[in-house]
Structure 1
Amino acid sequence: MAKEKIVLAYSGGLDTSVILKWLKETYDAEIIAFTADIGQKDELDGLEAKALATGASKVYIDDLRAEFAKDFIYPMFQAGTMYEGQYLLGTSIARPLIAKRMVDIARAEGATAIAHGATGKGNDQVRFELTAAALAPEISVIAPWRLEAFREQFPGRAEMIAYAEKHGIPVTASAAKPYSTDRNLLHISFESGMLEDPWFDPSAEENEDMYVLSVSPERAPDQAEYVELTFEQGDCVALNGESLSPLEVMERLNELGGKHGIGRVDMVENRFVGMKSRGVYETPGGTILFTAHRKMESLTMDREVMHLRDSLIAKYSQLVYNGFWFAPERLALQALVTESQKNVTGVVRLKLYKGNVIGAGVKSPVSLYNPDIATMEADPSQAYDQGDATGFIRLNALRLKVSSGVEQSKN
């Protein structure tokens, strides 16, 4: 009788390496390791050999970078998404793509379950499992960190390291970098360890070696650099006149933003599971793209459409952060967002300087800005009669006057 198959989201770190071996022993199953290449760079080196040596029967390392940029990052940025006013959702938006591919592999391999190494305190467990529920409700999910037997065996990292050494699993866990990281095409995050103290200053010069994608603003070039982003229907399609794919745009902008110290965020955020957590993020390319997109919208998007879309940013951001990417309400919101972007077309020029993204010009063939109407000089088009504002103000003031009269009558 064939063994049960389990598809494990595998990063090669301490947790998923131990989990791979533990699953194989506990469930007497074939473990298929899956790693999504979403821009981790050299973190992927040697993963296949390590997974096989740890006990995986098969390893998938799939390049999902282009799909990540085109079908996840770009639609999210069209929505103007920013969680709690600071976080560009770099980790959040990657999880539904990873889970989607895990489901695909599970079905192709005839696996009955998928597994992940997310802890019971974090958001990722929710994102993985809500995606699986939406796309493949027939496939079960194994979350070792939520199983009492696993937690009893591994109450801390010391026990995990000892287990890895016993089974000959190479691990790199040490006190040299007392924090955890998660990297992809959009950002890199830093959490836990020394960062759990919200008074700790990661921007101090002595902590500069923590950062990966960017230099500090103090070390950025003293000369500003200009970049032009071309948009078509809400998507950036070219930089400095050169046509590029979404993946190429993100890679180029990451280089530019990192060079100029752009995109560092240090925040305490509200996790979906109920607690607050402190995270430090580097999102150099995303910060440039977010700023450029907003400036393109300012010239080309109808006022009421913009205000309606903006009223939904908090909701859309929560859906992404909380793991509801494939939920019907997010898909419905996306339809509205897509419609709002049909005229977001043109060129934005930005100046990059020491951590700042500064607007330096915007133009569009479908601009809604008319200098003849907006001018403080004589209006050659005679499209706006300033006298019309009298009636406009009178009508809008009517309810205020009535309300004020009622309040005065009480006294």
Structure 2
Amino acid sequence: MASGVKKVVLAYSGGLDTSVILKWLEDTYGCEVVTFTADIGQGEELEPARTKAQAMGVKEIYIDDLREEFVRDFVFPMFRANTLYEGEYLLGTSIARPLIAKRLIEIANETGADAISHGATGKGNDQVRFELGAYALKPGVKVIAPWREWDLNSREKLLAYAEQHGIPVEMKRGKKSPYSMDANLLHISYEGGPLEDPWFEAEEDMWRWSVSPENAPDQPTYVEITYQNGDPVALDGKAMSPATLLAELNRIGGANGIGRLDLVENRYVGMKSRGCYETPGGTILLKAHRAIESLTLDREAAHLKDEMMPRYASLIYNGYWWSPERRMMQALIDASQAHVNGVVRLKLYKGNVIVAGRQSTTDSLFDASIATFEDDAGAYNQKDAEGFIKLNALRMRIAAQRGR
């Protein structure tokens, strides 16, 4: 039996893996286990996790509703940067992990635990995200990752261990999904099974949140999103909390076939992985935010943000949310949003998000009197462009004269 650990906080779902981990921690480390289950909008009933933990003798059980904090303090700050990883992925799984790590450490501090534990495997990104976050927030904490220690490396072995130790396991009736799925308020992901063949087209009955674009309504749906300091605060003129607004956009977007993605991505641990994602609300918000920024954000500020975004996205994907460099970048991004205020009108149609209009009565930098193709009454002297062009061409003219 390993020693040195008296109490550990386990990120616990109540499923087979974490139920086995709970008992394994008690047997292997001889420690008390505290369970923590996060509600981040995965759409599942979480009280059964409490019942299972109680049945296994757990005395301290945390089931926390983190939906508003998740969207307000993690999703929205990320969207202020118009974040996409490798040009496509809206980071639905990645952005949830720093919140879970934060709460694990908070509970460890509250309960006097000296370790935390998670059920992430040794092949994936989540182990990195959980543990980088934990060490950033509590440098001396011990992290126990059973998948890197035990030999229970198959479902059959896990089931055998559960039977041997009397661990209650819910055997769901009906056809078991072949996919590994992860859901929260921002997205649902699908990996494994037939998706491990990159040539395989995802089956229609895999998708949970959205209709296919072919089966979406033949008439478009219009929505208006109000922005304040870069964050959406109202939908169709109705003020909503962050979590409520995102959930409603998920519903509307899904009904219009929006937000599906099939991606082969580069994991931080070195391998390529194929996954499918549904992010209807996030897809809408990304389009809307860029639209309101196009009206209110200075050109060079906008371009600087675009240059920073891939690095910022990689930091989140790789687990560096709590790093000093991400915090520094966030401060710059947030400063850029002071005047990102207004309303964006979008047309949703068969998987497409189309900007139909944008306005800002207080912060628009668009001046029709200057941009017009008609007579601008002297607002812009077109002759000034000649010197501007010649000065910018000077270095190229010199190079051409030298035969370069």
Q: 2:52 is matched by which residue type in structure 1?
A: K
Q: In the alignment, which residue of structure 2 is the partner of 1:290?
A: 286
TM-score w.r.t. the length of structure 2 is 0.96
Tell me what 2:180 maps to.
Answer: 180
The aligned residue for residue 199 of structure 2 is 199
Q: Quote the residue 1:16 is aligned against.
A: 18
Matches within 5 A, 1:101-250: 101-147=103-149, 150-151=150-151, 154-166=152-164, 167-172=166-171, 176-202=176-202, 207-250=203-246
Instruction: Give runs of aligned pairs for residues 199-348 of structure 1, distance below 5 A.
Output: 199-202=199-202, 207-348=203-344
CA change 1:404–1:110 in 2 (3 A) is same
RMSD: 1.5
- SS of the residue 2:159 aligns to: helix
- The alpha-carbon distance between structure 1 residues 142 and 389, as it changes in their structure 2 partners (threshold 3 A), is same
Distance 1:69 1:92 in 2: 13
Cα displacement (A) at 1:193 = 1.4
1:373 to 364, 370, 387: 370
SS of residue paired to 2:44: helix
- 2:5·2:29 contact (CA, 8 Å) conserved in 1? no
Instruction: Provide the rounded CA distance (Å) in 2 between the counterparts of 1:159 and 1:316.
Output: 40
CA distance in 1, matches of 2:209, 2:58: 32
TM-score by length of 1: 0.94
For 1:261 and 1:196, the matched residues in 2 are separated by: 24
> Residues 355-366 of structure 1 correspond to what in structure 2 (within 5 A)?
355-365=351-361, 366=363
Residues in 2 aligned to 1:172 and 1:217: alpha-carbon distance in whole angstroms = 34
Q: In the aligned structure 2, how far is the partner of 1:298 from the partner of 1:48? A: 47
**Bigger shift: residues 61-70 or 211-220:** 211-220
Alignment CA distance shift 1:43-1:266 (3 Å)? farther
Q: Deviations over 1:333-356 (max 9, x none)?
A: 011001111111000000111111
- Asked whether the 8 Å contact 1:351–1:360 carries over to 2, the reply is yes
Off by >6 Å, runs of 4+ in structure 1: none
CA distance in 2, matches of 1:249, 1:281: 20
Cα pair 2:19 2:167 within 8 Å, conserved: no
Distance 2:204 2:171 in 1: 21
Would the aligned equivalents of 2:42 and 2:184 in 1 still touch at CA under 8 Å? yes
Instruction: Give 1:72's aligned amino acid.
Output: F
Q: Is the 8 A contact 1:66 1:247 kept in 2?
A: yes
- For 1:227-275, what per-residue CA distance to the aligned partner results, in whole angstroms no more than 9, with x for missing partners? 0000011010100000111111111111111111110000000001111
CA contact (8 A) 1:164 1:171 kept: no
Matched-pair contact (CA < 8 Å) for 1:229–1:239: yes
Please state how far the C-alpha of 1:55 moved relative to its aligned partner: 4.3
Q: How many residues were matched structurally?
A: 398
Q: 1:345 to 1:172 in 2, by over 3 A?
A: farther
Displacement after TM superposition at 1:51 (Å):
2.1
Q: Spell out, residue by residue over 1:277-328, the C-alpha distance to the aligned partner (whole angstroms, 9 max, x if none).
A: 0010000111111110010000100000000111000010001001111111
Distance in 1 (alpha carbons) for counterparts of 2:79 and 2:209: 20
Structure 2: distance between partners of 1:135 and 1:61:
21
State the distance in 2 between where 1:326 and 1:288 align.
Answer: 27
1:24 deviation in Å? 1.2
Taking the aligned partners of 1:352 and 1:300, their CA distance within structure 2 comes to 23
Moved more, 64-73 or 167-176: 167-176
Contact 2:147 2:153 in 1 (8 A): no
State the SS of the aligned residue for 1:46.
Answer: helix
Q: Which runs of 5+ in 1 are unaligned?
A: none
Matched-pair contact (CA < 8 Å) for 1:179–1:191: yes
